[in-house]
Structure 1
Amino acid sequence: MKFFRHRHICLPALVLAISVAGCSSADDDATAAVPSPDAAVVKLCRNLDGALPKKLDGQGRTDPEPASALTAGWGSPAIILRCGVPRPPKMIDPKVAEGRDENAVAGGVDGVDWLQEKADDGAFRFTTASRVAYVEVVVPAERDSTSALVDLAPAIKSAVPKGIAD
């Protein structure tokens, strides 16, 4: 009889401990809005998800919430990839093409063309250009963007064909 009485007392404490642990670990998880592209782009993004490296900039893959084949993440602070995003407005801005925008520049890394945009917090957002789907990579200020783009290039080249999106 004593066994049951102690079990009832301990069960609420165990539930409380599990709830608190669950809340504290979720606070550290990265989040990313999941894009909603058309079916053809979703297929490309799923292929990309399967080709992505396990490590990026030396950090293991830790995907953001909510879980999706259209998003991926590595390390902390997380480098976040989103596949199937809309074309960024700066991609068609003549100031960027002419090199007159101090916060955006076009360039390429290992055969993948990118639009690079600098955020106020020092982070960089890179969006693929000349590919049939737009892939966005956000690299926090503390992380090495060049290494990340070099690590991602083989997967992007194999999964997302060259062409014009939209």
Structure 2
Amino acid sequence: MSSRSLVLPALTVAALLTGCGSDSVEIASTRVDAADRTTCQQLVRALPATLDHLVTRAVVPRTALGHAWGDPAVVLTCGVTMPADFQPGASCEEINGVGWFVPTEQFGDLSEDLTVYTIGRDPVVEVVIPAEHRRDAAFPGDALATLAAPVKQAIPKAERCV
């Protein structure tokens, strides 16, 4: 067997194992304790295969505490920290029983990605909705409404949305 015939299968296996490829979405690792890791894993397992018309995409690393749908990808990550501009008592948009913090500067600029965070649930969940999906004005609300059931199932409410 030539060395070339050994190298090509090895490269293919390496690409599969690392999740490299145009179909994968990279999700940043989050540092969480064991209890939050278990909670986030439960959430990820409960997430739907489709989000509105967007289908699930593979994530890298495969152990990521998140999920992705569509291209460009809507990305959910569990176990994140609240953004620096979040203050207790900040505006909270409640959708199907889940409170979401939307940074004020993102409300009006539909050309920017939208990043929202759960309020009153621990661990915190972040959802990033690319600007392209905001062209459909109903999509962000519909997506968050779809995600509400698995979020409520996996992450108990600690505080009310005010």
Same fold (TM over 0.5): yes
Pick the aligned partner of 2:114 from 124, 130, 144: 124
Helix, strand or coil at the partner of 2:25: coil
Pair 1:49-2:44 in alignment: yes
TM-score of the superposed pair, with normalisation by structure 2: 0.75
Pick the aligned partner of 2:96 from 72, 89, 110: 110
1: CA distance, partners of 2:49 / 2:150: 11
Helix, strand or coil at the partner of 1:92: coil
1: CA distance, partners of 2:64 / 2:8: 32
Larger radius of gyration: 1
TM-score of the superposed pair, with normalisation by structure 1: 0.73
Greater percentage in helix: 1
Helix, strand or coil at the partner of 2:157: coil
**Structure 1 pair 88/11, CA: closer, same or farther in 2 (3 Å)?**
same
2: CA distance, partners of 1:76 / 1:114: 23
Aligned length: 144
Pick the aligned partner of 2:86 from 81, 84, 91: 91
Amino acid at match of 2:158: G
Assess if the C-alpha contact under 8 Å between 1:113 and 1:128 holds in 2.
yes
Cα deviation, 1:61-120, whole Å, max 9, x if unaligned, reads: 1132112251111111101111011122222167xx3xxxxxxx5311111000113298
**Structure 1 pair 15/150, CA: closer, same or farther in 2 (3 Å)?**
same
Assess if the C-alpha contact under 8 Å between 1:54 and 1:60 holds in 2.
yes
Assess if the C-alpha contact under 8 Å between 2:23 and 2:58 holds in 1.
no
**Structure 1 pair 158/91, CA: closer, same or farther in 2 (3 Å)?**
same
Helix, strand or coil at the partner of 2:132: coil
2: CA distance, partners of 1:146 / 1:87: 20
Pick the aligned partner of 2:31 from 20, 29, 36: 36
**Which consecutive unaligned segments of at least 5 residues does structure 1 have?**
1-6, 98-104
Deviation at 1:11, TM superposition (A): 4.0
Assess if the C-alpha contact under 8 Å between 2:67 and 2:75 holds in 1.
yes
Q: Which residue of 2 aligns with 1:15?
A: 8
Assess if the C-alpha contact under 8 Å between 2:72 and 2:130 holds in 1.
yes
Amino acid at match of 1:49: V
**Structure 1 pair 11/37, CA: closer, same or farther in 2 (3 Å)?**
closer
